[in-house]
Structure 1
Amino acid sequence: MTTFAVLAALLLLLALGFVLPALLRAQRVPPGVDPVHAAPPGDPQRGLAVGLAVALVAGAALVYAAVGAPASLQATRTPETVPELVQHLKTSPGDAAAWRRLARAYESAQRFNEAVEAYRQLVKLTPGDADALLDYAVTLAMSGNQQLGGEPEQLIQQALTLAPQNVQALALAGSVRFERQDYAGAVALWRQVLLHAPADSPVAAAIADSIARAESLAGVPKRGQGDKS
C-alpha cells in the first residue's frame, strides 16, 4: 500500500473537521479538473510528522474532490481542465488564481513535482499569502523525501511570520519540531493548535493523541504517574 492510501482515513478526518473550512475559503480544486490516478510508491510507516503534513493538503484535496465547490462558487466558476489551465497560463502568467487551481489539480492527481512548480509561480505572485506558502511547503516535502526540514521549513517559518496564529502553520511547525525529536517544542506548538479545535471533536482527540505521543517520547510521565502522594 502507498503512504497516501494508508493515511487516507486520517486525512479525511482531519480535513473534514479542521482543515477543510479554511481551505474551501481559499478556493480549492474546482469540479471538472481532470485527475490522473497514479499513486506513488512509499513506506506506509512515515510517522506522525508526515501524516500531519499530508493531512493539511492532500486530505483537504480528497474531501474537496468528493464534495465539490460550494454552490455559490459553482454558479460563478467555469470548470477548467489541466490542459485548459496550462494553455491559459501561457498567455496569462500573472493569473494567481489560475496557478492556485492548477496546483490543486496536480495535488489531487498526486503529481507533486508539477504541483511544486505551480506553487512556485503562485508564491512569486502572492508573497504575502501564508496559505500559499504552507501549501507549497507541504507539496515540496511530498515531492522530495517527505520531510519538512530544509526549504519546506523555511516556507513554514515565512508563513508563521505573516500569520502567527495560522493553525496550519502552527501544526506544521510542530511537525518540524517532531521530526527533529524536539518533542517539547512540538507539544508547545500543537497545544496552540488544540485551542482552535472544538473540545469534543475528533480533531481535538487526534491532536491530543499526537501531543500524548510526543510527551511519551520526551519522557513526560502520564497524568497520575509519578505522584507519591
Structure 2
Amino acid sequence: MTWFVPFAVLMTAAALFCVIHPLLRQHAGPLQGPAQSSANLAILRQQARELDAQLAAGDLAPADHAQARAELERRVAEEVAAPAPLVQAPPQRLLAGIVALLVPLLAAGLYWYAGNPAAHAVMSGSAPPLRPDHEISAAQVSTLLQRLADRLRNAPDDADGWYMLARSYTAIGRHHDAELAYQRLIVLVPDDPDVLADYADAAATAQGGSLQGKPVELVRSALALLPDHPKALALAGSAAFERGDFKAAANWWERMLPALDGDAELRRTTLANIADARQRAGEPVSTTTESPSAGAGQAISGTVTIAPELLKHVTPGATVFVYARAPGGAGPPLAVQRLSVGRWPLAFRLDDTMSMLPQLKLSGAKEVVVGVRVSAQGRATPSPGDLEGHSQPIRPGTEGVVVRVDTRRE
C-alpha cells in the first residue's frame, strides 16, 4: 500500500499535465461541428426503430434482428468516434481549473467504486467483502449529470459544458432537460448551425416528435447560416413531409445527397424517401439506379394490382410496401420499395440498392417471393386492416411480375 499512493499521485499528475497544458494555450478548432455525423445518426436511429418494430411484429427472426442491430451499432460507434470542438476559443483557464480539481477527485472516486481497494488489505487478511456489482445505475448517471449542471451554474459561460450536458440529457431520454440546456447554450453560441440543428431535434422530441413551430424555426436559422448543413436539411425535409408538402420534402432531401457520398447505405435510404415523397406529390419517379453494376441484372420489376372488392378499404395516400423475401418468410426482406397509392396498377422495381443489410442482397438469392402490403397508417410493421398479396416463388432478374393484393389482415 505504501508504494501505491505515491505512484497513483504521480500518474494522476502526468495525466493532468497532458490535459491542462493544451487548455492553457491559445487554440482554435473548426467552427463547424459534426453536421454530417448528426444527419447519419438520425437516419441510423430510424433504421433501428424499424428493426425493433419488425421484431415485435414477428416479421424478423431474433437472430436476424440481432445481426442487423449489431451492424447498426457498429456504424453508430464509427459516427460518434470523431471529436468535434465547438468554437474557436482563447485559453480555457476556468475549464483548466475545473479539470485540475475534478480529475483527482473523479479518479479516486472511480477507483473506490469500480476498482479493488480491498486488494491492499488482502496481505494482512483483513479484506472487506468485494462489491458484487460494478454497474453504474441510472440514478448514478443522473447524479453525475446533476453535478455537471451544478458546476455550470457557477460557470454559466462554459459553452462546451452546456453542449455536453444537453447531449447527455438527450442520450438518456431527458428531452425536456436537454431543451433547457440548449436554451442556455443558444445564448452563448447563437450562430452555430450544429447547435441550432441539435436544438431543433431535441425540441421536436420534447413536443412529441413534431417539427412544427419552434423546431422548424431553428432549422431555418441553421440553414440561413449554412445552407448545405446535412442535419438541418434532413429536418427541413421531415418538417415538410409532416405538413404534407411532399414536393418540398423531396427537394430538401435531394440537397442532402452530396453530403452522403461516403455512405452508400444512408444514400440509398435517402433516395427511397425522396422517391416516396415524389410519388405522394404526384410527380414521376425514376426507377433507374445510380449504380447499374450493383446487381442491376438481378432486378425484379412488375406491377401491383388489387382485387375490386378491396378497393373500398384503400384510403387516399396510403403507403404501399413492396418487398422481396426468401420463400417461407425467413429473415429480413432482401429489398424493399415504398410507394404511395395512386392509379392502379402500380409499377415497382426491386434491386440490390434497396437491401436492408449489405450482406443480404436480392442478387444473392436463388428464389424469392414478392410481397405487397398496403398500410393506411404508413407503418413498417403489419397491422389489422392492412391489405396484402404475394407472388409465387420467382428468380431474381424476372420482369413483368404481377402481384395481386387480395387479402385483408384481420
TM-score of the alignment, normalized to the shorter chain, above 0.5: yes
Structure 1 residues 155 and 8: CA distance shift in structure 2, 3 A: farther
Opposite residue 148 of structure 2, the aligned amino acid is L
When residues 36 and 209 of structure 1 are mapped into structure 2, their CA distance, relative to the original with a 3 A threshold, is: farther
Give the Cα separation in 2 of the matches to 1:4 and 1:115: 23
RMSD: 3.4
Assess if the C-alpha contact under 8 Å between 2:48 and 2:72 holds in 1.
no
Relative to structure 1, is the Cα distance of residues 170 and 4 closer, same or farther in structure 2, using a 3 angstrom cutoff? closer
For residues 198-217 of structure 1, what are the structure 2 equivalents within 5 Å?
198=261, 201-217=264-280
Q: Residues of 2 paired with 1:35 and 1:129: CA distance?
A: 34
Give, in angstroms, the shift of residue 222 of structure 1: 3.4
Q: 1:16 to 1:200 in 2, by over 3 A?
A: closer
Q: Pairwise mapping of residues 98-137 of structure 1 onto structure 2 (< 5 A)?
A: 98-137=161-200
Query: Aligned pair 1:187/2:250, yes or no?
Result: yes
Structure having the higher strand fraction is 2
Q: What SS does structure 2 have at the residue aligned with 1:99?
A: helix
Change beyond 3 A, Cα 1:192–1:13: farther
For structure 2, which runs of at least 5 residues remain unmatched after alignment? 1-45, 53-67, 87-109, 111-135, 288-346, 348-410
User: Distance between the aligned counterparts of 1:121 and 1:90, measured in 2?
Assistant: 11
Q: Contact 1:35–1:106 (CA<8 Å) still a contact in 2?
A: no
Amino acid at match of 1:85: L
Q: Give the 3 Å change call, closer, same or farther, for CA 23–180 of structure 1 in structure 2.
A: farther
In structure 2, the CA distance between the partners of 1:105 and 1:199, relative to structure 1 (3 Å rule), is: closer
After superposition, the C-alpha distances for 1:75-117 in whole angstroms (9 at most, x for unaligned) are: xxxxx93122112112111111110111111111100010000
Query: What's 1:149 paired with?
Result: 212
Aligned to 1:20: 79
Letter in 1 for 2:79: L
Q: What is the alpha-carbon distance in structure 1 between the residues aligned to residue 199 and residue 192 of structure 2?
A: 11
Deviation at 1:7, TM superposition (A): 4.9
Could you say which residue in structure 2 is the equivalent of 1:164? 227
1:203/1:97 CA distance change after superposition, 3 Å: same
Q: 1:104 to 1:159 in 2, by over 3 A?
A: same
Query: For residue 184 of structure 1, what is the amino acid of its counterpart?
Result: K
What SS does the corresponding residue of 2:256 show, helix, strand or coil?
helix
CA distance in 2, matches of 1:193, 1:22: 22
Answering whether residue 61 of structure 2 is matched by residue 6 of structure 1, we say no
Describe the shift of the 1:24–1:113 C-alpha distance in structure 2 as closer, same or farther (beyond 3 A): same
| Matched residue count | 175
Distance between the aligned counterparts of 1:130 and 1:22, measured in 2? Answer: 20
Normalised by the length of structure 2, the TM-score is 0.38
Give the one of 200, 217, 237 matched to 1:174. 237
Kindly indicate whether the alpha-carbon contact (under 8 Å) linking 1:35 and 1:109 is maintained by their aligned counterparts in 2.
Answer: no
- Cα distance between partner residues in 1 of 2:220 and 2:137: 31
User: Is structure 2 residue 203 aligned with structure 1 residue 140?
Assistant: yes
Q: Please, which moves more after superposition, 114-123 or 173-182?
A: 173-182
Higher helix share: 1
Displacement of 1:21 in angstroms is: 6.3
Structure 1 stretches lacking a partner, 5+ long: 38-79
SS in 1 for 2:268: helix
Cα gap change, 1:23/1:218 in structure 2, threshold over 3 Å: closer, same or farther? Answer: farther
Residue identity over aligned pairs, in percent, reads 32
Paired AA for residue 149 in structure 2: V
What secondary structure, in the 3-state scheme, does the structure 1 residue paired with 2:259 have? coil
Distance (Å, rounded) in 2 between the aligned partners of 1:214 and 1:185:
9
| Residues 8-59 of structure 1: CA deviation (Å, up to 9, x unaligned) | 7799859948x936974257xxxx9x7849xxxxxxxxxxxxxxxxxxxxxx
Would the aligned equivalents of 2:219 and 2:232 in 1 still touch at CA under 8 Å? yes
**Quick one: structure 1 residues 4 and 106, their matched pair in 2 at CA, closer, same or farther if it must change by over 3 Å?**
farther
Residue equivalent to 1:96: 159
Structure of greater relative contact order (alpha carbons < 8 Å, 6+ residues apart): 1
Distance 2:168 2:273 in 1: 30
Residue 20 of structure 1 aligns with an amino acid whose one-letter code is: E
SS of the residue 1:102 aligns to: helix
Report the secondary structure of 1:153's partner residue.
helix
Deviation at 1:146, TM superposition (A): 1.1
Counterpart residue identity of residue 196, structure 1 = A
